[in-house]
Amino acid sequence: MMTAAALPSDKKCVASGQPATAVLQVKGLKAYYRTRHFGVEREVRAVDGVTFEVRSNEIYGLAGESSSGKSTLIKAIAAAMRPPLEIVGGTVAFAFVPGGKDLHQATSAEVAAIRWRKLSYIMQGSMSVLNPVRRVRRSFEDFAAPHLGGTGASFEARVREHFALVRLDPNVLDAYPHELSGGMRQRVTIALATICRPDFVIADEPTTALDVVVQKDVLGMIRNIQREMGSSLLLVTHDLGVHAYVTDRLAIMYAGRLVEEARTPQVFASPQHPYTRHLIASLPRIGDAAPRAGLAGAPPNLASPPSGCRFHPRCPLAGDRCRRETPSMTVFAPDHRVACFAVSGGTA
């Protein structure tokens, strides 16, 4: 049984605002898709000047709708890029990369030493992570044995110890992936991603493919493991309910840029950016049937984004300045940054 009492309470030091060290620092990151076909150049600015940091022992949430650049941002952070995606500017620095090097400048041997041991991933489709024709135990051997070392009995003991930690039945090791339910498979994937006790875990829509009833349990498991390991977790999903349930801080992304970042309760209690405000206000809640408005227009095409603030064509507060200039993320309150002229004091 997972209980609150079993949790170490060291997250309190983060919540109480004591300075926590940054595990990941992203500064002015720009990642574009650049294609050149038959002499026609095309540039999709999927991530365009994103700056944030993820501190030790916290769950940092990143929310945004499809084509807002969330997935591109993850690829850029994890240095898992393939052409036509290129880093055009900015830096991605992990505290655990030797010499404070940018991950993109690290040699492939250095990156290989970090992957899975220091930096690991929880992906959406657990079926595509686990090998369908091999027992779960084999997947653990394939993934983790090269990183953990040890063979046979000692490795098995290590896996069982980890299963006990994440409260998974060790009999699952003998099952084939198709014999497990979706929720159980995702739990196995989480166990697989955390067995090396990584410093940083990237979770990309970890519960989107799961049923509502199972979703809450799996999220609880992610939170418990993170608290027990004390590592940092970057959780990316479009579902604000998930963010409300597990994340400590939350950033909202729109059309390739961050528009707001604050402690999660703060985002829900007093959103400042017009886009965030709309998102929060339009969430349907059981017990409240008051009419909720949709937002006019559609997210922009990032191959030809609007000038100035990318939200201005849909923004109720947009003024002339928003069409000309790009607002930068400005500190609105402690631990609360907003990129909007109407909020940061200036006239819109």
Partner 1 sequence: MMAPLLGLSHVSKIFGATGPLGRRRVPAVSDVSFALQAEAPEIFTIVGQSGSGKTTLARMILGMEAPSEGSIRLAGNDIGHARGARARRLFMATVQPIFQNPFEAFNPLRQLDYYLFLTARRFGQARDQRQAQTSADVALRQVGLSLPEVAGRYPHELSGGQLQRAAIARALLAKPKLIVADEPVSMVDASLRMSIVNLFKTLRDELGISLIYITHDLATAYYISDRILIMHEGVVVESGDARTVLADPQHPYSRQLKDAVLVPDFAGTSVVHDTMEMSGTQRPL
Interacting residue ranges for partner 1, rule: CB under 8 A: 1-4, 7, 15, 17, 65-67, 167-169, 187, 211-213, 215-217, 219-221, 223-224, 238-246, 248, 263-266, 268-269, 275, 278-280, 282-287, 289, 291-296, 298-299, 314
Cβ proximity to partner 1: between 77 and 168 the closer is 168
Q: Are 260 and 71 in contact (CB under 8 A)?
A: no
Q: Are 305 and 256 in contact (CB under 8 A)?
A: yes
Q: Token digits for 158? A: 């290590």
d(Cα 290, Cα 57) in Å, to the nearest integer?
Answer: 38
d(Cα 254, Cα 260) in Å, to the nearest integer?
Answer: 9
CB of 24 to partner 1, least distance (A): 21
CB of 291 to partner 1, least distance (A): 7
CB of 82 to partner 1, least distance (A): 21
Nearest to 181 by CA among 201, 209, 160, 205: 209
Q: Are 182 and 210 in contact (CB under 8 A)?
A: yes
d(Cα 59, Cα 107) in Å, to the nearest integer?
Answer: 28
CB of 17 to partner 1, least distance (A): 8
Q: Are 256 and 302 in contact (CB under 8 A)?
A: yes
What is residue 191's DSSP assignment? H
Cβ proximity to partner 1: between 153 and 289 the closer is 289
Cβ proximity to partner 1: between 97 and 205 the closer is 205
Cβ proximity to partner 1: between 112 and 333 the closer is 333
CB of 285 to partner 1, least distance (A): 6
Determine if residue 221 is left, alpha or beta; phi over 0 gives left, psi from -120 to 50 gives alpha, anything else beta.
Answer: alpha
CB of 129 to partner 1, least distance (A): 19
3-state secondary structure 233-295: EEEECCCHHHHHHHCCEEEEEECCEEEEEEEHHHHHHCCCCHHHHHHHHCCCECCECCCCCCC
Cβ proximity to partner 1: between 111 and 244 the closer is 244
CB of 327 to partner 1, least distance (A): 19
Cβ proximity to partner 1: between 1 and 109 the closer is 1
